[in-house]
Amino acid sequence: MSSPNRLLARRAGIDTYQQAVVYMRSDCAVCRAEGFQSQAQVEVIAKGRHLFAILHQVNSDWLRGDEIALSEAAWALMGAAEGEELVVRHPPILDSLAHLRSKVHGGRLDYAALRALMEDVSRGRLPDIHLASFVTVCAGRGLDLDETVALTRAMVDVGERIDWGVSPVMDKHCIGGLPGNRTTLLVVPIIAACGLVMPKTSSRAITSAAGTADVMETLAPVDLDLPAMRRVVEREGGCIACGNAMRISPADDMLIRVERPLGIDSEGLMVASILSKKAAMGSQRVLIDIPVGPLAKVRSDAAAGQLSHSLVSVGAALGLQVQAVFTDGSQPVGRGVGPALEAMDVMAVLERAADAPADLRERALLLAGLLLELAGKAAPGTGNALARAVLDDGRALARFIAICEAQGGLRVPPKAAHTHCVTAPAAGAVAGIDTRLVARMAKLAGAPRDPAAGASMHVRVQDRVARGQPLFTLHAGSLGELQYALSFVRSQLPVVRIGAVS
């Protein structure tokens, strides 16, 4: 070895999600020379490429003393080759940590401070413990409107920003937390068929049974890079792609990674997350769907009103025209919960099937109609009728198929190998459906890891049911997963609550 701080790259094959982790023997020359300890942050360098990673020390012969093993996330970020020589050293001291400490002690952060923080966040320079402290203090002490605007602007400025060269560029977002609410796959083709531009990027599921990108992926490829996405949008007027493949508000991606395990979803960070992505994507007019319900993310009209005010105000400060709409968040939307099952619902609506879920259809028409009015394509109060005509005459289906073909080809969603129907234990009326339990049982059945897995709902709130009538069906790829989900269902309060007929 030419220097004591050089080690040979090795792929560990260990999934650490999005966190970059490296593994070194505790008795290797670098650890001894640099005084590294487990959980220390280190900087790894090779041919001008820099990676900041957390060190885990190894006391085992699976790793040689002249090797450094990289987790899957670190390997992808570093772009290393097996046996490549890597320099390992202490990372530079970050000035931005002083701003974080200021916020912890009650200070307010201006744009310059937040820009410095987001720059380091986006480049992976801050360990998760510091990211977690930032998320926590923003939730605990909160962000005022000026700080939220500054944070949103900083998150945009440290990533790529797209200019589509046309106006208006339309977009929508749902706050989330509602199983089956897959309106994006219906709204985008309706809007694009009306001659408008709607480049939609969506996320994969993190804690839910399906994300929009997971559902779309059962119908067409979604991992488009920026040039590919631009080609699709220029050709068809819209796309439904996974935003993870592009450097769009990268600081937001890093913050989300630590927000989810903490279970923290504060208003200021939520607003900055949503609008930074929209601004970076070049969107100009944005509709925000806020489901309101007892188990939804937003549980009251008052909370929805406050969130709406923040979204509109911050959007205006960034030059975005934002409109919010409150929708029913009391029960799942459509029938399917899980990527393929939700995709089947979407296709049933697009194909105008007789048994297509009416609630999904009407919710999508509501949102598409408001977007058409926001774009000036329809007069106030007439957007829903235009959206309905585009869906009913087949233009939306034709445009959706064209978008799928442009993204790499239309696919047929898979079906699960095993199913089990859960029936009503007694006659009565459906008094409530626990949306959180619905999502949980679908995940235990294998969704979204197995795209065919999940649950399909057969009833809605206020439906009358007879004893033995199907309530929902579980779908799984193996009998073991099916039994696991069923055991969960049987151990909980009823997923579907049956009450007396009034």
* Per-residue pLDDT tens digits for 421-457: 999 999 999 999 999 999 999 999 999 999 999 999 9
Q: Is the pLDDT of residue 224 over 60?
A: yes
**Distance between CA atoms of 128 and 182, rounded to whole angstroms?**
32
Q: Is the pLDDT of residue 316 over 50?
A: yes
pLDDT > 70: percent of the chain: 98
**Distance between CA atoms of 303 and 334, rounded to whole angstroms?**
25
Please report the pLDDT score of residue 292 as a whole number.
96
User: What is the bridge-based pairing of β-strands 454-457 and 170-174?
Assistant: unpaired
Q: Is the peptide bond before 413 cis (omega within 30 degrees of 0)?
A: no
**Residue type present at position 128:** D
Q: Are 83 and 67 in contact (CB under 8 A)?
A: no
**Which range has the worst mean pLDDT, 175-179, 280-284, 305-309, 342-346?**
175-179
Q: Is the pLDDT of residue 1 over 50?
A: no
> What integer is the mean pLDDT of 316-334?
97
Token reading at 111: 């744009």
Q: Are 7 and 88 in contact (CB under 8 A)?
A: yes
Please report the pLDDT score of residue 2 as a whole number.
46
Using one digit for the tens of pLDDT, what is the confidence trace for 232-264?
Answer: 999 999 999 997 667 788 888 888 888 877 777
Please report the pLDDT score of residue 248 as a whole number.
81
CA dihedral of residues 189, 193, 198, 199 (deg, nearest 10) = 60
Angle, CA 124 vertex, CA 138 and CA 173 arms, to 5°: 55
Please report the pLDDT score of residue 167 as a whole number.
96
**Distance between CA atoms of 89 and 52, rounded to whole angstroms?**
10
Determine whether 146 is exposed, middle or buried from the number of CB atoms within 10 Å of its CB (0-12, 13-18, 19+). middle
Q: Is the pLDDT of residue 411 over 90?
A: yes
Please report the pLDDT score of residue 198 as a whole number.
98
Ramachandran sector of residue 26 (left: φ over 0; alpha: ψ -120 to 50; beta: rest): alpha
**Distance between CA atoms of 310 and 368, rounded to whole angstroms?**
23
Determine how many CB atoms are found less than 10 A away from the CB of residue 380: 8
At residue 290, φ and ψ (nearest 5 deg) are: -115, 95
Look at residue 133 and give its three-state secondary structure. Answer: helix
CA 166 to chain centre: 27
Q: Is the pLDDT of residue 46 over 90?
A: yes
Active-site pick, 66, 265, 328, 359:
265
Alpha helices in 407-478, H assignment, sequence order: 435-444
Q: Are 335 and 345 in contact (CB under 8 A)?
A: yes
Q: Tokens 């050709």 belong to which residue?
A: 235
Using one digit for the tens of pLDDT, what is the confidence trace for 449-461?
Answer: 999 999 999 999 9
Model confidence band, residue 3 (pLDDT cutoffs 50, 70, 90): low
Model confidence band, residue 123 (pLDDT cutoffs 50, 70, 90): confident
Angle at which helix 267-280 crosses helix 128-140, to 10 degrees, equals 110
Please report the pLDDT score of residue 74 as a whole number.
95
Q: Are 80 and 86 in contact (CB under 8 A)?
A: yes
**Distance between CA atoms of 204 and 260, rounded to whole angstroms?**
13
Check if 265 is active-site.
yes
Look at residue 416 and give its three-state secondary structure. Answer: coil
Q: Is the pLDDT of residue 93 over 80?
A: yes
Give residues with Cβ within 8 angstroms of 316, minimum separation 6: 322
The closest alpha carbon to 496, from 435, 439, 407, 445, belongs to: 435
Q: What is the mean pLDDT of the chain?
A: 94
Element (DSSP H or E) covering residue 120: helix 111-122
